[in-house]
Structure 1
Amino acid sequence: MSEPTTPLTYSVTSRVSPFAPRGAVTDETQKDDGATCPVSTFPAAGVMPVVAADSPVSRVREPGLMATLDRPAPARTGVRGILGSLGIRISPGRAEQAKRDADQRLILDEEIIRQATWTRAISILVANSKGGVGKTPVALMLAGTLASVRGGSVCVLEVSDDPGALNFRAEGSPNLGLGELVSAVSTVFTAGQLAGYTAPQTSFASVIGSVGTRPPLTRTDVAAVSAVIDSFYAIRVMDSGNQSSSSAFEGAVETADALVIPVLNSGDAVFEALALLERLRKEGGQSAGLADRAIILRLTDGRPEHPQVMERLDRILAGAGVAQVFSVPYDAHIAERGQLTLGRLDPATYRVLAAAAATIVSSVRVLM
C-alpha cells in the first residue's frame, strides 16, 4: 500500500537568540492527541481573534535563505514520534504542530525587527492615563525585545512629569540619570558622554530614568533630551506618566512615531485608554496619526477575571479603532514588581512582545 499523501509546506529550522527565551512548550511536554494541523497560516502570538491580522503567512523562509519546498517534517514527540523512530512516517499531532507554527512565527517576527531600517531614529511612546497598568514593564521589556534582536541601539527614556519607577524596575543602579542629563544636555556631544547617564541592560537596551529627585519634566526638556538620544540610538522608547495633559506628555507625543497603550483586564484601565485615543484624535495632525496607528497590549495581573466582564471588554476593544490588540499572558516575573530582566520572562510573554514589536516597526517603516 502506498504511503498517504501529505500536504506540501516550507520547512523552517528554528534558531535560538542568546537573550530571548524559547520553547513555551517543550518536546518533553507535548501530548499526542491524534489530530493534525496543516501549516498554512501563522497568526501573531497573542493577537485577539477579533482583530484582522496582516495577510496570512503561507510561505515561511529561514532568514537569509531561499524557501525550500518540502514535505512536512514527521512527528518527533508523543506516540507519533515513537512511530516515526520506528520508520513509520506520520504527521505531527495538534500540540506539536502548534509549537512548530509558533516557532516559525517567532522567526518571522524577529526577522522583521532585525531587518527594519529608517533614515532617522524612531520613537515609541508607551502611555495610558491610568496608573498601575504596566506602562513601565511594557516599556522596559518591549525595548529589551527590540534591543536583543537588533543587537542594541535602543534607549528607554522616562518622560513622566515627576520621577517614576523606571530605574527601580530596570537592571543596575546608575549614579546619574534623567535629572542630571537634563541639566547637562547642552554639553553632551558623544556616545561616551551620554552613556554616563544610562543603566545598561543585559538585553543590550539602555535606560535613562530618575535616580533621585528632579524638577518636573517639561516639553522643552523632552525635546532636548530626545534630540541627543536620537543622535546615538536608532530606537527611543518612552515611559510616560499618568498626566496626559502635562507639558512633558505633550513633548513625548510630538516626538513619537508609534503609540503603545497597556491595559489590564479591567474597565477603568480600558476606558482610560479609549479616552486617551479620543483626545489624541480630536487634536488632529501628529496626535491623531499616533492614535490611528496605536496598538494595545492587554495584560493579565493574576487577579480573578469574570467571563462576562472579559466578554464586554472584548467587544469594547474590538470597536476601539486600534491597529491591533495583543494579549499578554500572566507573567510571574513581571508580577514580582521588582527588577526586570528580559531573559526571565515566560517564553509566551516574549513571543507576544516580539509580535507586537514586529507590528510596530512595520507600521513605522511605512511612514519613512
Structure 2
Amino acid sequence: MTDAHNDSEAGALRRRTNTTRRVAATPETASAPMISDVPLAPADGLVAAPRYHRGAPAAEPQPAADAAPRSSRREQRERPSFLQQERHEEPARSGARGMLNRLGFSLAPGAAERAIRDNETLVGQHWPGPRTIAVVNGKGGAGKTPTTVLLSAVFARFGGAGVLAWDNNQTRGTLGWRTDTGPHDRTLFELLPEADRLLGAGAQSADLAHFVHHQVREKYDVLRSKPMRLAQENRLHSSDIDAIHAVAAKYYRLIIIDSGNDESDPMWLRMIDHADQIVVATTTRDDHAEAGALLLEALEERDERSADLARRSVVVVTQADRKATPADVEQVVTGYRDLARDVVSIPFDHEMVDGHLRLSALAPATQTAWLAAGAAVARGL
C-alpha cells in the first residue's frame, strides 16, 4: 500500500510539473525567465562553468583583464640578422697600395681612392624620374660641347644606359661633329614630326634608334641638330622644345643639353624652364669667364626658379689653353665661388682640343677631374 501511495503521489507531481511547463509556454509568460536560465551564484572560491543553450554558438573564453600577452618564441629570442652584416671595404686597386694588393696583400684604399669611389657612387645613382641638365655660356668656344659630351660619358659609364646628349643650338651646333655617327643622318628635325607617335602607348624605346646616334664605346645617345642649315632654318618654337623634351624624358633618365649662345632665343629660354640643374662651361679666357658670370647674374633677375638654378649651378673651368698657368685657373675658380654652388677645374688635355671626344681617350688625371665634375652635378639632382 505504501508503494501504491508513493506511485500516486509521483504521478500527481508529474502532472503538476507538466501543467507548470504548459503555463510557462503561454504567450503571457514567454518573456519570464525560466529557472534554468537564471545563473547560479558560484560557491566561494569557485568559478561557475558557462552554461550553453542547445543550438547557440559557443562563446570563446575571454582572457583575464590583467593577463600579460604572450610573446612569441621569435620575439623572446634575439639574434643578429645574417642579412645585416657590415660590408667590408674593397681593398685598394690603384697606386702603391693596389700594386701591393696584386702581390697578395690586402690594404685598404687611401684617401684619394676613397674620394674617387665616392664620386663613382654619386654619378652611378638613379633618380626617381628623369633629370635635365643645361650646359650654358653666352660666349662661343667656352667649352659647352666638350662639357656636354664628357659629362654624358661619365654618367653613362658609371650609371648605365639612359643618357641623352641633345644639341639645342640654333646656330651651327657641333655636338654631332664631335661624336660618332650612327647608321643614319637624322636629327631632331626628323624626330619632331614623330613626337606624338613616340609619346603614344604603342611606341617602344627601340624606335628612337631611327633618330638618335648611339655612342657604342661611351654608351650614351646623341640627338643632333643640323649645323649645315642657316640659323633661321634651325629655329624652333617653345612648343617644339616641349615636344622634344617630352619624348626625351619618356625614354631617358638623364638629359644633358648643349645650348646655343643666344640667351634671348625661345629655344634657349625654354631649355632653362625644363632644366633641373645648370652647368656653366668656361675656359680660363677672361671673356669666357665674364660671359658665364653675367649669365648667372641675369638668371638671378629673370624669375625665382631661374634664380634658384643659378644659385645651385656648377661651373666647369676647362684649361683649354696649354699656356694657362695654375694661377690663371685658380683666379677663375675663385671668382665663381660666390656665384655658384660648386666649381670644378679640368686640366689641359690635347685629346679635348679637336676631333671626336671620348672619355676613355683622356689622360687618367683628366678622367678623374671629369668624374669630379659629374659628382658635383649629381649632388644637385
TM-score by length of structure 2 reads: 0.67
1:5 maps to none
Structure 2 counterpart of 1:172, one-letter code? T
Cα deviation per residue 1:124-172 (whole Å; 9 max; x = unaligned)? 0000001101101110110111011111100011111234001000112
SS in 1 for 2:252: coil
Change (3 A) 1:205 1:355: same
Which of 287, 294, 301 is 1:275 aligned to? 294
Find the counterpart in structure 2 of residue 326 from structure 1: 344
What code does the residue aligned with 2:303 have?
Answer: G
1:166 aligned residue (169, 175, 182)? 175
Q: 2:368 aligns with which of 326, 351, 354?
A: 351
User: Quick one: higher RCO (CA 8 Å, sep 6+), 1 or 2?
Assistant: 1
2:267, 2:319 → 1: CA distance? 28
1:250-276 Cα distance to aligned partner (Å, 9 max, x none): 110011000111111121111101110
Cα displacement (A) at 1:107: 1.2
| Structure 2 equivalent of residue 204 of structure 1 | 219
Q: What pairs with 1:184-223 in structure 2 (closer than 5 Å)? A: 184-188=194-198, 189-201=203-215, 202-211=217-226, 212-213=228-229, 214-223=233-242
- 1:284-295 aligned at under 5 Å gives the runs 284-295=303-314
Q: Is the 2:142–2:281 contact (alpha carbons within 8 Å) kept by the matching residues of 1?
A: yes
Q: What is the match of residue 137 of structure 1?
A: 146
2:317–2:333 CA contact under 8 A, matched in 1: no
CA apart distance, 1:227:
0.4
**Cα deviation 1:278-321 (Å, max 9, x = unaligned):** 111101222111101101001011342367755643442233x2
Count of aligned pairs: 283
Question: Residue 162 of structure 1: SS of its match in structure 2?
Answer: coil
Moved more, 351-360 or 298-307: 298-307
Cα offset for 1:103?
A: 2.4
Taking a change above 3 Å as real, the CA distance of residues 186 and 346 of structure 1, as seen in their structure-2 partners, is same
CA contact (8 A) 1:127 1:240 kept: yes
3-state DSSP of counterpart to 2:121: helix
Q: Is the contact between residue 331 and residue 345 of structure 1 (CA under 8 Å) also seen in structure 2?
A: yes
Provide TM-score, normalisation by structure 1: 0.70
Tell whether 2:251 aligns with 1:232.
Answer: yes
Q: Which amino acid aligns with 1:203?
A: E
1:158–1:239 Cα contact (<8 Å) kept: yes
Q: Which amino acid aligns with 2:379?
A: S
Contact (CA 8 Å) 2:138, 2:295: kept in 1 or not? yes
CA distance, structure 2, for counterparts of residue 301 and residue 359 of structure 1: 20
4+ runs of 1 displaced by more than 6 Å?
none
The runs of 5 or more residues in structure 1 that have no matched partner are: 1-63
- The secondary structure found in structure 2 opposite 1:111 is helix
Q: Which of 116, 123, 135 matches 2:132? A: 123
The within-5 A match list for 1:22-33 is: none
How far apart are the structure 2 equivalents of 1:358 and 1:236?
Answer: 16
CA contact (8 A) 1:126 1:138 kept: yes
- Contact 1:116-1:362 within 8 A present in 2 as well: no
Distance 2:159 2:283 in 1: 29
Q: Distance in 2 between matches of 1:267 and 1:292?
A: 22
Are residues 172 and 68 of structure 1, via their aligned partners in 2, closer, same or farther at CA, if it must alter by over 3 Å?
closer
Give, in whole Å, the separation in 1 of the partners of 2:330 and 2:367.
Answer: 25
Deviation at 1:340, TM superposition (A): 1.4
Identity of aligned residues (%): 25
Instruction: Provide structure 2 residue ranges, at least 5 long, that are not aligned to the other structure.
Output: 1-84
Matched residue of 2:380: which SS? helix
Residue number in structure 1 paired with 2:123? 113
> Which residue number in structure 1 is paired with residue 87 of structure 2?
66
2:159 maps to 1:150: yes
Does the residue aligned with 2:158 lie in a helix, a strand or coil?
Answer: helix
- Which of the two has higher C-alpha Rg? 2
Q: Work out the CA distance in 2 between the residues paired with 1:166 and 1:232.
A: 20
2:357 corresponds to which letter in structure 1?
Answer: L
